A and B are shown apart, each in its own frame.
Chain A
Amino acid sequence: DAMVIQNPRYQVTQFGKPVTLSCSQTLNHNVMYWYQQKSSQAPKLLFHYYDKDFNNEADTPDNFQSRRPNTSFCFLDIRSPGLGDAAMYLCATSREQKETQYFGPGTRLLVL
C-alpha cells in the first residue's frame, strides 16, 4: 500500500561526489515536491514539479537539481555534496497545487 516511496532510506556519500535520491508515487498525483530537513528543523522546500513544469525556490542552491522523467518518478541530484548538505530529504506529492501533501519516509543523507 506504499504511496510515496523513497530510495534509498539511508545514503552515505563522500564530499564532492554526486549523489541521486529517488522518489516514486503510486497516487498518480500531478505535483511532486522535494524538501530538505535538517536536525530539529522544519522541512524546507527546495523545488517542485507540476506535471513537467519545474519550479525552483529562490533560495535553493544551484548544487541541487531535479528530474521528473514521468508522472511516477522524481529524482533529486546533488552535484557536489558538502558537509552542510547532510540532512533528511523528503519527497511529497499532491493531486493539485494547494491540495494535501503526502510524504514519503525520507532519505537520510550522510556526507563524509
Chain B
Amino acid sequence: AQSVTQLDSQVPVFEEAPVELRCNYSSSVSVYLFWYVQYPNQGLQLLLKYLSGSTLVESINGFEAEFNKSQTSFHLRKPSVHISDTAEYFCAVNPQGGSEKLVFGKGTKLTVNP
C-alpha cells in the first residue's frame, strides 16, 4: 500500500521569503506524484505533477517540485512567496499499476504573513 507523509502540518512564513513544503512517500511500485492547492472553501486545484521525464517540474505561478527517487521525496518549493499563496497544500501519489487509488497526505497549511 502507498502512503504519503507531509511532516509539517503548518508552515508560517513572511512575504517574499522562500518556502519548502516537504512530502515523502512510501510505495512498492513506481508512482505518479502530484501537488494540489486548496484555498479556503474551495476545491483542490492541480498545482503540478510528475509523470515521467525531467525530475524537476514547475507550475505557472512560480512553484517547483523535484522528484527524488532515492529519497522517495517530492518537496514543493517557491523562492519568494506572496500573501496570495496562503492555502493548504496536499501532496498525493498514484501508483502506476494495480488497483490502488490516489493517496493524499494530510496537507500543509501555508500562511504567508506581511
Contacts and interface: CB of A to CB of B under 8 A. Distances in A.
Interface of A: 4, 6, 40-43, 45, 48, 88, 90, 92, 98, 100-106, 108
A97 B32 CA distance: 12
Contacts of B105: 42
A103 B45 contact: yes
B32 A98 contact: yes
Contacts of A106: 41-43
Contact of A42 (B90, B94, B95, B101): B90
Contacts of B36: 103
Interface residues of B, number: 22
Contact of A6 (B43, B45, B95, B104): B43
Interface string B81-114: 0000000001000111100011011110100000
A98 B46 contact: no
Contacts of B34: 100
> Which of A4, A92, A98, A102 has the most chain B CB atoms inside 10 A of its CB?
A98
22 contacts: A4-B43, A41-B106, A42-B104, A43-B44, A43-B90, A45-B102, A48-B101, A88-B41, A90-B43, A98-B32, A100-B32, A100-B46, A100-B49, A102-B46, A103-B43, A103-B44, A103-B46, A104-B43, A105-B42, A105-B43, A106-B41, A106-B43
